Amino acid sequence: MSTTLPTRFSDDELRQYADVGFVIVRGLLSEEETDLLRAIAHQDRVLRERAYARADGEGGAVKLVVENELPRDTIYGAIVRARRVVDRMEQLLGEEVYHYHHKMILKEPRVGGAWAWHQDYGYWYNFGCLYPSLASCMIAVDRATRENGCLQVLAGSQRAGRVDHGPVGDQTGADPERVAALCERHPRVHVELDPGDAVFFHCNLMHRSDQNHSDHPRWAFICCYNARSNSPYKPSRHPVYSPLEKWDDTRVLEVGRAHRKRQQADVSATGS
C-alpha cells in the first residue's frame, strides 16, 4: 500500500457515511496485496471445502464461507487486523471495535446466485446485539460490475432503522413491502469496484446483489466489526467482545507473501 494514501476517513467521508450509509475507498489494498489475496483465495482448498450455498429464491444460489476464528498466519487475518481497516471502523462506530466475523463470497461465473434485499442488522439483531453499532468492509477480490452481480445499495436507507426480515429461499430477506417503499424514496446505487477497492457500510443499509450472468467471477472478502459496548448479551453464532490487536499495514504483504509460499509448497508436495 502506498504510504501516500490516507489510512483514516476525512471529515467529508464521515459526513457522507452519516448521510448515505456507505463510503467507497479506492485502492484500499495495493495491486500486490490484491493479487496475493486473489491467488490465495482461489487456490484455498480449505475455503472451498467449507463453502456452503444459500438459495436466493430466484432459482440460483450463492456460495460463502463465514469464519469467527481469526488466524494470525493468513492474509485474511492480516487484513482484518490492518490499521487502514480497523482505524476507519473505529471512526465510523465511535469507539473500540472487535472482530465480529469475516467471510468470503464466492459468486462464480454464470452460476453465482443473488442476495435478496436485506440489512445485516436484520438478523444480527437476533444474535444478541442490542444496538446497530456494527459495520462491514467489503473488499473486491475480483472486479465487481453490474454484469457479474455487484453490490447494490439504497443510499440513505440506514436511516429507516431495522426492518423486519424473513425467509427468502435459504436466505434472510427484508420485508418486501418495506423494501418497495424504500426503493421509491432512496436512490439505488450499483457499487462497481476494481480489485482492491472497498466499501464500508452501515449494518442497517439496505443492500442486495444480482446473479452473476457473466463469464467472470465476483469474489468479495468482507470484514465485519462490532463496537465493544455492543457485545452480545447472549451466546450466538458470532463472538462476544475480545480485544482486537491492530497490525501495521505492512503486515498484510508480509503475512500474505508467507501464506502464498506455504500454499505453493503444499501444492508442489501434493501435486494438486
pLDDT tens per residue across span 151-205: 999 999 999 999 999 988 888 899 999 999 999 999 999 999 999 999 999 999 9
C-beta of residue 198 within 8 angstroms of C-beta of residue 138 = yes
Q: What does the alpha-carbon distance between residue 248 and residue 212 come to, in Å, rounded to a whole number?
A: 35
pLDDT-based confidence at 58, cuts 50/70/90? confident
Map out the domains of the chain as residue ranges.
25-135+143-270
> 198: closest CA among 224, 222, 218, 225?
222
Domain 25-135+143-270 is in which class? Answer: mainly beta
As a whole number, mean pLDDT of residues 27-46 equals 97
Does 54 or 29 have the greater pLDDT score? 29
Q: What does the alpha-carbon distance between residue 33 and residue 221 come to, in Å, rounded to a whole number?
A: 13
- Residue 2's pLDDT is what? 41
1: pLDDT strictly greater than 60? no
> 89: closest CA among 2, 25, 142, 160?
25
As a whole number, mean pLDDT of residues 105-120 equals 92
- Residue 5's pLDDT is what? 66
pTM score of the predicted model: 0.95
- Residue 60's pLDDT is what? 84
- Burial status of residue 72 (CB atoms within 10 A of its CB: 0-12, 13-18, 19 or more): exposed
Q: What does the alpha-carbon distance between residue 178 and residue 156 come to, in Å, rounded to a whole number?
A: 14
